[in-house]
Amino acid sequence: MKKPGEEKFSNLFQPGKIGKYTTKNRVKYGACCVSNYNTRDGFITDRELARTKVIAQTGCGIITNQGAFPDPKGEGKAYFRQTALYDDKFMAQFEKIAGFIHDNGGVAIQQILHCGRYGGIDLGYCLQPSVVPQTLPHFRPPREITKEEIKQTVKDHADASKRAIKAGFDGVEITSFMGYLLANFNSKFTNRRTDEYGGSLENRGRFMRELIYGIKEAIGDDHPLVARLNGAELMDRWGGNDEDECFELMKMAGDCGIDMISVTVGWQEAPVSSIARDVPPGHWNRLAARAKKLLPDVPIAFGVRLPDPEMADKCIGNGEFDFWEVCRPMLADPQLLHKAAEDRLEDKKPCLGCMLCLSRLFRDLPYLCTANPALGHEVEPEYQLTPSAVKKKIMIIGGGPAGLECAIAASQRGHEVTIYDKSDTLGGSLLGYASHDQANQEDLLNLISYYKTQVEKRGIEVQLNTEVNPKLMRSILHKYDVAIVAAGARIDIEEIPATEQEGLVINALDAVKGKVRVGKKVMVLGGGKIGLTIAEFLRSKGAEVTIVEEARRIAEDVIPTWKWRHNAWVEEMKIGTLTGSKVKKIADGGVTVVNAKGEETFVPADTVIAASPRKANQELFQELEFMVDELHVVGDAVAPRGLYQAIHEGYRMGVRI
């Protein structure tokens, strides 16, 4: 008997085909690049096996294992802890992963990933079709690949593919996503060769054709080969392929007998977003539809910035693509597909598109997820939700992300939980800032909706418009076994020069909550994420905005892969910035700012918004010390930081109490 969601999303849950294999649904778990959970010499760890066991249980019809580099030199290796498949010695753990996938009814695909321009992390150079200087300085200088090495590279891919099949995988995948070796040959930006592998599009695609033929000969027709190919490189600034050229290359792959094409978007060096939350969900769907029209007989997989099963179901029904390829939404919520099948998508925990995963990965750290604190810790019992040995009555002071995450985790373990918040709604300061974000606001607002739904479904008591203080605690003394301070942080107004002009200086949180009127000439004190969010919003509404920041750069507290986005918005929106500068005086209708050289600048303003410095709301922690048996503090109440730390600390506290 079908589940209600399987009936509702009938396109998503219908069987599919890849090669000779019938899949149980139309969902392909994407390789998600690499996890960096493995050893420096390419062996798979218990940490990785625990993660892949969870992936195998996601319910996807096709599951693609993360990319393994195929060459013994490591020229294809881009990440310190990337898995390897250039020798039989690596196969035992791949056999376990293939077994996990088959045990859960999935078709198992192993990605072979030679990172080309971004590879050679242990070598000090990278392998390229041509010597084209890096646009990002942290990558290695290029060395041009010879014809003999091209042939060897094809053989390396074929041999690694054979090992994958021998290990139990049903098929393999090659990828050009993010600007790896396949993309380097295909693109006129990085391929400037004058031999038969360069020049015309036909010649630039020669390596891809040889790769397809070489792998297919090695693994046989019974085992499907998938190619992830760009529908758009987004490399116009550097002279990359246009979309027409990208689709000609797809047609070329189709003519070679490829068994599936996964349509991807962008390179690491692309100066515009492809998968972050400043790109609206569904923005790239047209590329998948074009590929399907171009290659009606080749299964098309797609999922770039498409986090929603309902949208995916409609796209499949409309014939835009055949398989929803999903990765990051299932990093955030591995139960996403099961929740869709049960028609309870209100319970899905959303991918925020915040790029924490890539920020860590690109700095050679194991990737983590802001929304899912258990990711990467599946092997550790301490991170699992298990029934509590002692049931406790817990009060959580603060209804922001840290408090909500803690409340839900503690409730799932059997504790009786009450949330107190002085505001009239849950969500904390995140609610105000999310509603002013220039990116897709729904990503953050959906997280708050998720929390509210879980609080209601779990019967967690909520006391709003209630400020917890010593007087209140004395009135409920001994009612609770545990108090958790999740009161967040505030703007430390006392650190800002005083002004005699009443109403000129306002608090950032008051501004986003609409408690005060903001003028047309605005000075924002603080160029961190709070100040930037407010400045960008006000500028979009027509205000003249200037930011003053003591640090040498704005966005210092923003995660690395999102800094550029704020910098770009500031430039595009013509927001003034005074960095390396301090506020000397606030008066006379404006702000006097002094820079590191001692030079003073007066900026007229009818509103000054204090967005910095931030100070933890820790006072309550001291006041409650002798009023409750257990007392803890989490999130910004420990130290002002961000959403990732708040959610993870809240969860960790919830699973350990």
Q: Return the CATH number at 457.
A: 3.40.50.720
pLDDT of residue 84: 98
Rg (CA), the chain: 27
Assign residue 529 the CATH number of its domain: 3.50.50.60
The SS3 of residue 523 is strand
Same domain, 605 and 620: no
End-to-end CA distance of the chain: 40
Assign residue 168 the CATH number of its domain: 3.20.20.70
What's the CA gap between 161 and 183, in Å, rounded?
Answer: 19
- Is residue 396 domain-resident? yes
Same domain, 77 and 97: yes
- Is residue 377 domain-resident? no
Helices (H) and strands (E) in the chain, counts: 22, 28
Sign of the Cα torsion 21, 171, 78, 143 reads negative
Tokens of 306: 């498409």
Angle between helices 243-255 and 206-219 (to 10 degrees): 30
The SS3 of residue 30 is coil
Same domain, 214 and 310: yes
Whether the predicted pLDDT of 503 surpasses 90:
no
Question: Out of 38-42, 479-483, 588-592, which region has the weakest mean confidence (pLDDT)?
Answer: 588-592
Angle between helices 91-103 and 46-56 (to 10 degrees): 20
Residue 596 domain boundaries: 496-612
Same domain, 599 and 651: no
- Is residue 120 domain-resident? yes
More confident residue, 607 or 362: 607
Q: What angle do CA 215, 330, 35 make, to 5 degrees?
A: 55
- Is residue 380 domain-resident? no
Same domain, 309 and 401: no
Whether the predicted pLDDT of 96 surpasses 90:
yes
pLDDT of residue 311: 97
The answer to whether 212 and 257 have CB atoms below 8 angstroms apart is: yes
Same domain, 350 and 443: no
pLDDT of residue 48: 97
Same domain, 598 and 628: no
What's the CA gap between 150 and 207, in Å, rounded?
Answer: 8
Residue 478 CA to its chain's centroid (Å): 42
pLDDT of residue 33: 82
Q: What is the mean pLDDT of residues 208-230?
A: 98
pLDDT of residue 1: 86
Same domain, 174 and 91: yes
Cis bond leading into 613, ω under 30°?
A: yes
Number of domains within the chain: 3
Closest CA to 361 of 623, 35, 11: 35
Residue position matching structure tokens 């009060």? 395
List of residues 6+ apart from 512 with CB closer than 8 A: 429, 432, 433, 435, 436, 533, 534
What's the CA gap between 439 and 449, in Å, rounded?
Answer: 18
In this structure, the dihedral spanned by the alpha carbons of residues 633, 638, 643 and 649, taken in order and rounded to 10 degrees, is -40
pLDDT of residue 515: 84
Whether the predicted pLDDT of 502 surpasses 90:
no
What's the CA gap between 24 and 267, in Å, rounded?
Answer: 32
**Mean pLDDT rounded to a whole number for the chain:** 96
Residue position matching structure tokens 């609770």? 480
pLDDT of residue 499: 86
pLDDT of residue 649: 98
The answer to whether 298 and 339 have CB atoms below 8 angstroms apart is: no
pLDDT of residue 221: 94
Whether the predicted pLDDT of 25 surpasses 90:
yes
Q: What is the mean pLDDT of residues 532-553?
A: 96
Same domain, 217 and 79: yes
Whether the predicted pLDDT of 477 surpasses 90:
no
pLDDT of residue 500: 79
The model's confidence at residue 231, banded by pLDDT at 50, 70 and 90, is: very high
- Is residue 302 domain-resident? yes
Same domain, 97 and 196: yes
Same domain, 353 and 437: no
CB atoms within 10 A of CB 14: 16
Tokens of 622: 């001291």
The model's confidence at residue 513, banded by pLDDT at 50, 70 and 90, is: confident
Single residue among 580, 596, 612 that ends a domain in this structure:
612
Tens digits of residue pLDDT in 149-160: 999 999 999 999
The answer to whether 492 and 639 have CB atoms below 8 angstroms apart is: no
Closest CA to 571 of 594, 539, 543: 539
- CA–CA distances in Å: residue 317 to residues 97, 304, 339: 32, 18, 20
Tokens of 416: 């009786």
Percent of the chain predicted with pLDDT > 90: 94
In this structure, the dihedral spanned by the alpha carbons of residues 557, 560, 561 and 566, taken in order and rounded to 10 degrees, is 40
Tens digits of residue pLDDT in 344-392: 999 999 999 999 998 998 888 999 999 999 999 999 999 999 999 999 9
pLDDT of residue 501: 86
- Is residue 521 domain-resident? yes
pLDDT of residue 362: 86
The answer to whether 480 and 395 have CB atoms below 8 angstroms apart is: yes
Same domain, 481 and 501: no
- Is residue 378 domain-resident? no
Whether the predicted pLDDT of 393 surpasses 90:
yes
- Is residue 381 domain-resident? no
